[in-house]
């Protein structure tokens, strides 16, 4: 989608002043609802990389585009042995409607109660807005943060950084 | 951020669908989706700058279909590539963008007939995903080059994030002439 805003750079370094967990940090454990009756735990992904995509809210235009992009790249992530998970403070019911509307084929987790608890653990909660940052984490097979990136809230960070981080992990394996 | 060199966000002779001289001082690459309304809006703007810049501009189009969101995008991309296999990529490309509200398989067949193509062959290729690998290659390359949505444009290899109207695009293209 075309945005009116002039974006000067999408460099890989996190935003200045960001408290997002940096590479090398053990990824905090969590269990969150993916649907009203299902819970997804980070520990389920141990042994392969997982991508956590925190985003501010279901339905907002940039989020839609960002999640739509990841939806098209699932086979690409799978080829790199990785799973991707979206996380926002929306409830599981809201996620269910959003996911159905956009035909998403990956889980969206509800960081809903206590609100934003997991976003806080990862250092990407925006107190002023009551939502998470638009933040990406690539967690390695051992459960350590391998790469993290915080995008300006209105800018779709895309997938290039994720793919590059996953390719590096795959290379390190061999 | 990307491991791909900026060179691949420039038109590649012998691979890309290209309009204008490959050695033109200005290169414009679009990643687009035939069912995306924003790409449809961009289409006449691209045409306008092509007209103004003439041989000073080399334009290439690559596929970036968001197939879950746009159920007709994949077959439309296949149809353009299949028309390309009969040497008529750009005619189909224009037809698809000018008829975004009619991209079902029957429509694609009709456009092939209207363009005087071998419609049976074209539809056989569309329905069998004959060009799926190329479309996928466009998509994968785009995702690695910070194509985050459609349309995304690169001017002389650099992503263009400015205003998208004919005047702004023309100014940006003109400034970047090498």
The reply to whether B163 touches chain A by the CB within 8 Å rule is: yes
Q: What are phi and psi of B65, to 5 degrees?
A: -75, 125
The reply to whether B128 touches chain A by the CB within 8 Å rule is: no
Residues in B closer than 8 angstroms to A101, CB to CB, are none
For residues A76-80, give the mean pLDDT: 96
pLDDT for A64 beyond 50? yes
pLDDT for B89 beyond 70? yes
* Residue B44 banded pLDDT, cuts 50, 70, 90: very high
Distance from CA of A70 to the nearest CA of B (A): 9
Question: pLDDT tens across B47-81, in order?
Answer: 999 999 999 999 999 999 999 999 999 999 999 99
DSSP line for A59-122: T-HHHHHHHHHHHHTHHHHHHTT-EEEEEESS-HHHHHHHHHHHT--S-EEE-TTTTTHHHHHT
Using CA atoms, how far apart are residues B62 and A29, in angstroms rounded to an integer? 41
Task: Give the pLDDT confidence score for residue A11 in this predicted structure.
Answer: 41
Q: Is the pTM of this model over 0.80?
A: yes
The reply to whether A161 touches chain B by the CB within 8 Å rule is: yes
Average pLDDT over all residues of chain A = 90
Percent of chain A with pLDDT over 90: 84
Sheet holding B57-63, edge to edge: B17-19, B57-63, B26-32, B152-155, B158-160
Catalytic residue among A20, A63, A84, A118: A63
Measured in residues, chain A has a length of: 174
Residues in A closer than 8 angstroms to B38, CB to CB, are 1-2
């Amino acid at each position: 989608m075309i945005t009116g805003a002039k974006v000067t750079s999408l460099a890989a370094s996190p935003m200045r002043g960001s408290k997002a967990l940096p590479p090398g940090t053990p990824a905090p454990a969590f269990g969150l609802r993916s649907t009203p009756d299902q819970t997804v735990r980070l520990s389920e992904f141990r042994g392969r990389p997982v991508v956590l995509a925190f985003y501010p809210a279901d339905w907002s235009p940039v989020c839609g585009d960002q999640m739509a992009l990841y939806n098209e790249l699932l086979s690409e992530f799978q080829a790199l042995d990785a799973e991707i998970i979206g996380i926002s403070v929306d409830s599981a019911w809201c996620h269910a409607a959003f996911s159905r509307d956009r035909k998403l084929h990956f889980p969206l987790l509800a960081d809903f109660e206590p609100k934003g608890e997991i976003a806080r653990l990862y250092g990407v909660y925006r107190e002023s807005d009551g939502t998470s940052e638009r933040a990406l984490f690539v967690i390695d097979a051992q459960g350590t943060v391998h790469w993290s990136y915080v995008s300006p809230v209105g800018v779709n960070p895309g997938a290039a950084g994720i793919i590059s981080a996953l390719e590096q992990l795959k290379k390190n394996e061999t | 951020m990307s491991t791909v060199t900026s060179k691949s966000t420039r038109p590649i002779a012998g691979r890309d669908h290209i309009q204008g001289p490959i050695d033109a001082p200005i290169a414009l690459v679009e990643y687009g989706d035939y069912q995306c309304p924003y790409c449809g809006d961009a289409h006449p703007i691209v045409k306008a700058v092509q007209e103004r810049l003439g041989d000073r501009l080399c334009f290439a189009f690559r596929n970036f279909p968001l197939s879950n969101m746009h159920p007709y995008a994949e077959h439309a991309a296949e149809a353009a590539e299949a028309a390309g296999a009969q040497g008529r990529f750009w005619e189909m490309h224009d037809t698809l963008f000018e008829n975004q509200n009619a991209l079902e398989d029957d429509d694609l067949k009709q456009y092939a007939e209207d363009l005087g193509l071998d419609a049976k062959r074209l539809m056989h290729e569309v329905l069998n995903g004959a060009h799926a690998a190329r479309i996928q290659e466009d998509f994968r390359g785009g995702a690695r080059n910070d194509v985050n949505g459609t349309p995304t444009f690169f001017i002389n290899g650099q992503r263009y994030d400015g205003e998208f109207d004919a005047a702004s695009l023309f100014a940006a293209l003109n400034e970047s002439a090498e």
